[in-house]
Structure 1
Amino acid sequence: MGFEEEYQSFMNSHLQTRTGERLRRLQEGHNHAEILFLKQVWWPLFHQFRYLHPEYEINDFNYGNRYLDFAYIRPSIRICFEIDGYGPHLRKISRWQFSDSLERQNQLVIDGWTVIRFSYDQVKEKPRRCQQIIQQVIGRWLGDELNQIPLSLVEKEVLRLVIQKGEAISPTEVAKYLKLGVKTARKVLAQLVDKEMLTPASGTVRVRSYQLGSQVRHFHLINRGKNYP
């Protein structure tokens, strides 16, 4: 399915399981900025919304319940994604509201959340950079899952490097990181392309850089299948 169909399925699954304030918050709090984030940042990277929860409710010890724009939750992983707009309401924020915002983020970190914040302008104007940050933060937590893939130790280390970097990587970088010759690095990269773990990112006759391929995106970061909500 394309974005629109998958997005509607994603939202409907959450709307159907919520009631009361949780339902109202999802209906009223999920707006243009959040949709743009899903469309321009998340969807091109993952092509689905597994493990992602919109307007996720958390319990605040001091102030009751609060809501995160998005929560990415897997075993041992809790990542909060916030999309911050810049408008009149933000420019007029009171000192108390500013302090409260900082306290909210601090409490999330104390409770074991990783907090990633994007501005609306970043999502709109620099979606690729946002994707790189997401790939890096999720890759940091999920790198050990590569042990489940039947690859050589060197191949796994190359994939970890690409995941941690969050963007295309060159044979020279691989050679330097693994202390290999450039010719050997190219051979390992070619093997990973054959296994659909990597794909050429630049160059035609001679590939200059490589990025994650479909097999890694599906297994490592996505693990196909819905689990909404």
Structure 2
Amino acid sequence: MNDLQAEYEVPGFGEGSFYIDHAYLRPPYKIGWEIDDFRTHGQHASRRTFEYERERQNHLVLNGWTVFRLPLDMIRDQPNKCRRFVLLTLGKLYGDFGEKKETSLPLKQRELVRFANKLQRPFSPAEAGELLGISTRHARTILHEMAEQGWLDRAGGLQRIRTYRLGEKGKLY
């Protein structure tokens, strides 16, 4: 959990900053874990507080955050249930947490499969390069190899492939 930060400040949209109770910042995702106390967020919430919380949530989502809300009572009373949910979420987004798969892929290829699965639309070599922090040319080479192996399918372009999408092998991973 090296990528977890408490009380993480997110710049607002011209109206100050928002704070996320716990931010998990590991590319390619930005995950926010909000801890909601019933008394503060439910029982004694004013209309203004209710509106602020919804606006805040919407701004975070628009800014690329995936936000999960956990009730404080559940954390206190059912900590194992919360732990399972967090691990299940991180496992779904980032990998299998030690469970050996039949076919393993190098890190960059795994990230591209996850990226394609999350997008559910064709993506360009430039997008892949940005995700991985590599040149578009290098990304194109990796994408071409993955398409040859069945992890990705060519989605656009006749002479030169312009976009890729998740292939059959990638859907099973």
Q: TM-score, normalised by structure 1?
A: 0.41
Of the three residues 139, 152, 155, the one matched with 2:102 is 152
Match of 2:46 in 1: 94
Residue among 2, 5, 11 paired with 1:59: 11
* Structure 2 residues without counterparts, runs of 5 or longer: 105-173
> Which has more helix, going by share of residues?
1
Q: What secondary structure, in the 3-state scheme, does the structure 2 residue paired with 1:68 have?
A: strand
* Aligned CA distance change for structure 1 residues 145 and 119 (closer, same or farther; 3 Å): closer
Q: Is the 8 A contact 2:91 2:97 kept in 1?
A: no
Aligned to 1:78: 30
Corresponding residue for residue 120 of structure 1 = 72
* Secondary structure, counterpart of 2:93 in structure 1: helix
State the Cα deviation string for residues 84-118 of structure 1 (Å, max 9, x = none). Answer: 11226753322122011011111111111111111
Q: 1:56 to 1:77 in 2, by over 3 A?
A: same
Confirm whether residue 69 of structure 1 aligns to residue 69 of structure 2.
no
How high is the sequence identity, in percent, across the aligned residues?
36
Mind listing any 5+ residue stretches in structure 1 that lack a counterpart? 1-48, 155-229
Q: Deviations over 1:108-159 (max 9, x none)?
A: 111111111111110011111111211121112112897xx985339xxxxx
Aligned residues: 104
Instruction: Tell me the amino acid that sits aligned with residue 75 of structure 1.
Output: P
Select which of 46, 61, 73 maps to 1:109: 61
- Larger RCO, structures 1/2 (Cα 8 Å, 6+ apart): 1
- Which residue identity does 1:68 align to in structure 2? I
SS at 1:50's partner residue?
coil
Whose strand proportion is higher, 1 or 2? 2
Q: Mark the CA change 1:151 to 1:95 in structure 2 (over 3 Å): closer, same or farther.
A: closer
Could you say what secondary structure the match of 2:2 adopts? Answer: coil
Task: Report the TM-score when normalising by structure 2.
Answer: 0.53
